[in-house]
Amino acid sequence: MDTPRFTVPGMDEETAVDVIGVLDARMTGLLDLSLTLKHVHWNVVGPNFVAVHEMLDPQVDAVREMVDEIAERIATLGGTPVGTPGALVDRRDWDDYDLGKATAQQHLAALDIVYNGVNGDHRSAISKLDGWDPVSEDLLTAQLGQLELFQWFVRAHLESATGTLPTNRVKSEERAAALVG
């Protein structure tokens, strides 16, 4: 990552580079999430199709807004946000979403695993930003609250009346989908 030619008052360039790196990783994660959510929106089938299909579009819109907020923060810090498809693929360190056409329950189980990763990575990023940049930390903290709400919406479709979540402790999207399929 290039050293910014300027940054915000009170922040040195070395810190700006570190903050921009953390934000860039979150921007990449959220770009991927927005595309994954839209993919699920197009490929969900079964009895709960309408509910899940309609639940996902507001999540897509909100995640896209989060990407925009992070990109603008990167630019504010003197960085260059890069959101091209090639850059997204080059910078991500996780595999592509595993499911194509699948039932609502299968996609929701897989999305729970996706949200585990995204939300966990957001929490880690917030920890890294502690003491570096309270503005970026607050931005990610607010986003995490919304992302956790979205995961709760997903989990509400999966949870039993006794509070059992079939995806608890599952690491793989395919395994999660198989458990409910």
Q: Residue 18 maps to which CATH number? A: 1.20.1260.10
Is residue 130, in this structure, part of any structural domain at all? yes
Burial of 152 (0-12, 13-18, 19+ CB in 10 A): exposed
Domain residue limits at 166: 13-180
Is residue 5, in this structure, part of any structural domain at all? no
Taking CA atoms, 15 is separated from 5, 55, 88, 129, 160, in Å, by 13, 39, 23, 10, 46
Specify the 3-state DSSP secondary structure of 130: coil
Q: What is the pLDDT of residues 23-54, one digit of tens each?
A: 999 999 999 999 999 999 999 999 999 999 99
Number of folded domains in the chain?
A: 1
The pTM of the full predicted model, rounded to 2 decimals, is 0.94
pLDDT of residue 135: 97
pLDDT of 67 higher than 80:
yes
Is residue 3, in this structure, part of any structural domain at all? no
Is residue 152, in this structure, part of any structural domain at all? yes
6 Cβ contact list (under 8 Å, min separation 6): 78
pLDDT of residue 181: 83
Is residue 19, in this structure, part of any structural domain at all? yes
Is residue 4, in this structure, part of any structural domain at all? no
Closest among 89, 65, 83 to 24, alpha carbons compared? 83
